[in-house]
């Protein structure tokens, strides 16, 4: 099975070429260095969540397209085997659990976060709704100006096409996040 870096490299090159842009142009539009894009496409890079979101938005594809395994067989991901993509701004990682199949528009992630700097997200594609179920710990979640304190078992749905935040309050905070694209 491909590792995460290999999947990102293969998918990023495919999507960039499909968009008809050079490495330099993609880097410029996404606001990241050309060296970073080159490293990612060669499988040598170690991208952050922010970098992958910027590339996805620039290419017009959801984050999930860049990291999905695209397997047809049943997929089991044990909690201790999460190979998430880390944030460069906070102790936060996102593990894609299930990408939306063709014709459907939802992606499922396992989020693991620690207290410290909050994970602030820029608006996603228009019409995006995020659904969060807190599994453990405590976190402030939702639109930046309307974040809600969630406890284990709490569910929150909010617009993902506005600035939003996930801020762990307790060590070992985890959640299931479903990103629904319309």
Each residue's pLDDT tens digit, 13-60: 888 988 899 999 999 999 999 999 999 999 887 888 889 989 988 998
What DSSP state is assigned to residue 84?
P
What CATH number is given to the structural domain containing 50?
A: 1.10.260.40
Angle, to 10 degrees, between the axis of helix 34-42 and the axis of helix 49-59?
100
Same structural domain for residues 61 and 38? yes
Same structural domain for residues 100 and 142? yes
- Per-residue confidence (pLDDT) for residue 1, from 0 to 100: 35
Angle, to 10 degrees, between the axis of helix 23-30 and the axis of helix 49-59?
110
Same structural domain for residues 149 and 104? yes
Same structural domain for residues 57 and 140? no
For residue 73, tell me if it sits in a domain. no
pLDDT single digits (tens) 112-151: 999 999 999 999 888 888 899 999 999 999 999 989 999 9
Same structural domain for residues 93 and 52? no
Same structural domain for residues 86 and 140? yes
For residue 160, tell me if it sits in a domain. yes
For residue 72, tell me if it sits in a domain. no
Q: Which residue range forms the structural domain that includes residue 138?
A: 79-180
Last residue of a domain, one of 67, 92, 117: 67
What CATH number is given to the structural domain containing 164?
A: 2.60.120.10
Cα gap 177→66, rounded to integer Å: 17
| CB-CB contact of 90 with 117 (8 Å) | yes
pTM: 0.59
Minimal CA–CA distance to 74: which of 108, 97, 95?
97
Same structural domain for residues 135 and 173? yes
Same structural domain for residues 119 and 157? yes
User: Count of domains in the chain?
Assistant: 2
């Amino acid at each position: 099975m491909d590792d995460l870096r290999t999947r990102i490299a293969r998918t990023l090159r495919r999507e960039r070429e499909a968009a008809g842009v050079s490495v330099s142009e993609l880097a410029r539009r996404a606001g990241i260095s050309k060296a970073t894009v080159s490293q990612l496409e060669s499988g040598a890079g170690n991208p952050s969540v922010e970098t992958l979101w910027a590339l996805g938005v620039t290419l017009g594809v959801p984050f999930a397209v860049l990291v999905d395994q695209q397997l047809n067989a049943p997929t089991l991901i044990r909690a201790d085997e999460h190979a998430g993509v880390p944030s460069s701004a906070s102790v936060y990682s996102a593990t894609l659990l299930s990408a939306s199949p063709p014709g459907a528009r939802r992606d499922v992630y396992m989020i693991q976060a620690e207290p410290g700097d909050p994970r602030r997200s820029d608006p996603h594609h228009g019409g995006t709704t995020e659904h969060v179920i807190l599994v453990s710990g405590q976190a402030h979640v939702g639109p930046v100006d309307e974040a809600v304190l969630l406890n284990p078992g709490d569910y929150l749905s909010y617009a993902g096409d506005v600035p939003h935040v996930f801020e762990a309050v307790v060590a070992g905070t985890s959640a299931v996040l479903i990103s629904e694209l319309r």
